[in-house]
Amino acid sequence: MKKGFGVALLLILVVVGTVGFHVFSPWWWTELASNWGYIDDTIILTFWVTGVVFVAVVGFMAYCVLRFPYQEGRRSEYNPENKKLEWWLIGLTSFGVVLMLTPGLFVWNDFVSVPKGAAEIEVMGQQWQWSYRLPGKDGVLGTTDVRQVNDTNPFGINPKDPKGQDDVLIAGDDLHLPLDKPVKVLLRSLDVLHDFYVPQFRAKMDMVPGAVTYFWFTPTRTGTFDVLCFELCGVGHYAMRSKVVVEKEDKFQAWLKKQQTFAQSLREAENQSGGESKVASALGPENAAGGGSGSRDHGAPTVRVNP
């Protein structure tokens, strides 16, 4: 048997095995549920470019192992400069890099150009839960301020802003979205970096405390999809889950009507704290002054952290 044959065969098997696994793999992306097929296209293009290079490089290595095995007394040529070869390498590498990056620039341009008329919704991330805010009847989200964040106002909506009163708040429950309507997703974080990610939508974006980031997409298929946090954010990161339900407009509207608004949640909190302070004063002044869960400081940024 020719010297180096075994090694060359092994290298070829690595190529065949890798490409074969990619083509016949039982694991592939979840089925697309948004307008972002472009993102899949650019990833597939990257697979093609890197795949061709991988096959060429490992194939060349196998060839060299076969063609130039060790021979007593033979030495390799020292060739520090080879203009022709270098031009070839520069040309091919540049071509590959341009091929991989150029489509991404066009997709990114789309990604940051939110279509006119897109509905705005807000996603709030915190260790380790998601909450959502949808504009109420006026179609506009109220302004917010982190200094307003507290137990009764987890989003920090400015209580004086009339646009915020009808905002629909969803905490610890699924987010619903209407089918085929573009949405601009505004992202906020209360503590550390998080990343709102629904694999079927492809699009995702980091959430940065103190900033509002965004992305947009159009849900193109009804269904219930998992929300994951895509930025390692602490020991509970793996459990930072939620669901998005995409449904037809009429079903969505019916769901929306049942949700609590900011004004309603404030009233409810007031009624509760009113009830509690009555109980407290009935128990005696010491208990009332002790300030249990009934006393709430509206100005303090007390962020509730769930285990």
Distance of alpha carbon 39 from alpha carbon 44, whole angstroms? 9
- Compute the least distance from the CB of residue 34 to Cu ion, in Å: 21
- Compute the least distance from the CB of residue 120 to Cu ion, in Å: 22
- Compute the least distance from the CB of residue 222 to Cu ion, in Å: 27
- Compute the least distance from the CB of residue 286 to Cu ion, in Å: 41
C-alpha closest to that of 178 among 229, 78, 247, 120: 247
- Compute the least distance from the CB of residue 307 to Cu ion, in Å: 15
Residue 125 or 135 having the CB closest to Cu ion: 125
Complete DSSP assignment for 67-85: HS---TT------S--HHH
- Compute the least distance from the CB of residue 239 to Cu ion, in Å: 10
Residue 227 or 240 having the CB closest to Cu ion: 240
Distance of alpha carbon 150 from alpha carbon 295, whole angstroms? 12
Residue 176 or 194 having the CB closest to Cu ion: 194
Tokens of 244: 């998005």
Q: How many residues does the chain have?
A: 307
CA-CA-CA-CA dihedral for 148, 149, 154, 156, to nearest 10: 40
Sequence-separated (6 or more) residues with CB below 8 Å from residue 268? 260
- Compute the least distance from the CB of residue 30 to Cu ion, in Å: 20
Which parts of this chain interact with Cu ion (CB under 5 A)? 194, 229, 233, 240
Contact of 240 with 220, CB cutoff 8 Å: no
Q: Helices (H) and strands (E) in the chain — how many of each?
A: 7, 10
Unique residue bearing structure tokens 């919704």: 121
Residue 42 or 204 having the CB closest to Cu ion: 204
Distance of alpha carbon 297 from alpha carbon 307, whole angstroms? 23
Residue 149 or 229 having the CB closest to Cu ion: 229
3-state SS class at 12: helix
Residue 121 or 187 having the CB closest to Cu ion: 187
Residue 157 or 233 having the CB closest to Cu ion: 233
Partner residues linked to 195 by β-bridges: 206
Contact of 33 with 179, CB cutoff 8 Å: no
